[in-house]
């Protein structure tokens, strides 16, 4: 199960809580992987994984366990879903946000190329450096695409929230694209101030 299987790395996640009055911020996290032969199978080995988060201060413990598929001993290959460990270099939501004027640009999705400066699939623009957890915290959307020349460009739009308060959508889109996500974010910052439908902000 890859991180990209989730449609949103920020807004669909619910934080786990410490006990009331606990002053600790973090968790001690450990993983466990077990294999075993299910009854009636001669070649398949099941794979089970578990993740446990423990707070030594308040004594709270969370555990998540799941069957992730199986390995066929005859072919040597896995079958079913496989869990990947994400890294900061690969997924945008593990990186630090960028400051764009008085706003913050939060990356999400996979990195586009091997070059760390190439950018990620998409970005949220917010007022806070803290990663957004609800749709109403997101002020703008930046996303990447490949143009006809084969170059990566970034599009921009101000963000709006559905009536149910659960879904983000592009309220006002820029009519041009940029070479960098920062350039696209500058357009959003200007559009939020003056309500312009488009603004020729510098790209890179």
Q: What is the pLDDT of residue 120?
A: 82
Token pair of 139 as six digits: 């002020």
Residue pointed to by tokens 């009854």: 39
Q: What is the pLDDT of residue 140?
A: 96
Last residue of a domain, one of 79, 104, 125: 79
Q: What is the pLDDT of residue 72?
A: 59
Q: Which domain holds residue 152?
A: 92-194
For residues 154 and 189, state if they share a domain: yes
Q: How many domains does the chain have?
A: 2
Give dist(CA 4, CA 135) in Å, integer: 19
pTM above 0.75, yes or no: no
Q: What is the pLDDT of residue 1?
A: 35
Last residue of a domain, one of 47, 79, 111: 79
For residues 118 and 168, state if they share a domain: yes
Per-residue pLDDT of the chain (204 residues; tens, 9 = 90+): 344 444 677 887 778 889 999 999 889 998 887 766 555 555 556 677 788 889 999 999 888 877 766 655 555 555 554 455 555 556 777 788 999 999 999 998 777 775 556 678 899 999 999 989 889 999 999 999 888 998 899 999 999 988 777 788 899 999 999 999 999 999 999 999 876 444 333 333
For residues 131 and 166, state if they share a domain: yes
- Three-class HEC string of 36-94: ECCCCCCCEEEEEEEEEEECCCCCCEEEEEEEEEEEECCCCCEECCCCCCCCCCCEHHH
Q: Residue 134 to residues 10, 12, 15, 141, 146: CA-CA distances in angstroms?
A: 8, 8, 12, 14, 29
For residues 141 and 172, state if they share a domain: yes
Q: What is the pLDDT of residue 103?
A: 97
Last residue of a domain, one of 28, 48, 79: 79
Q: What is the pLDDT of residue 181?
A: 95
For residue 204, being part of any structural domain is answered with no
Residue pointed to by tokens 């669909």: 12
């Amino acid at each position: 199960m890859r991180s990209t299987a989730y449609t949103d790395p920020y807004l669909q996640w619910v934080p786990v809580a410490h006990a009331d009055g606990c002053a600790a911020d973090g968790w001690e996290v450990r993983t466990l992987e077990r294999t075993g032969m299910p009854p009636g199978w001669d070649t398949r080995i099941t794979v089970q994984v578990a993740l446990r988060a423990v707070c030594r201060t308040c004594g709270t413990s969370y555990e998540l366990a799941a069957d992730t598929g199986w390995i066929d001993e005859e072919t040597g290959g896995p079958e079913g879903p496989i869990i990947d460990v994400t890294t900061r270099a690969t997924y945008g939501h593990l990186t630090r946000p960028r400051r764009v004027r008085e706003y913050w640009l939060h990356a999400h999705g996979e990195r586009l190329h091997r070059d760390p400066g190439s950018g990620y699939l998409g970005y949220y623009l917010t007022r806070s450096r803290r990663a957004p957890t609800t749709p109403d915290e997101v002020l703008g959307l930046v996303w990447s695409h490949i143009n006809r020349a084969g170059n990566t460009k970034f599009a921009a739009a101000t963000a709006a929230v559905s009536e149910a308060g659960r879904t983000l959508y592009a309220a006002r889109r820029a009519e041009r694209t940029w070479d960098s996500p920062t350039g696209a974010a500058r357009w959003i910052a200007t559009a939020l101030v003056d309500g312009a439908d488009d603004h020729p902000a510098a790209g890179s």
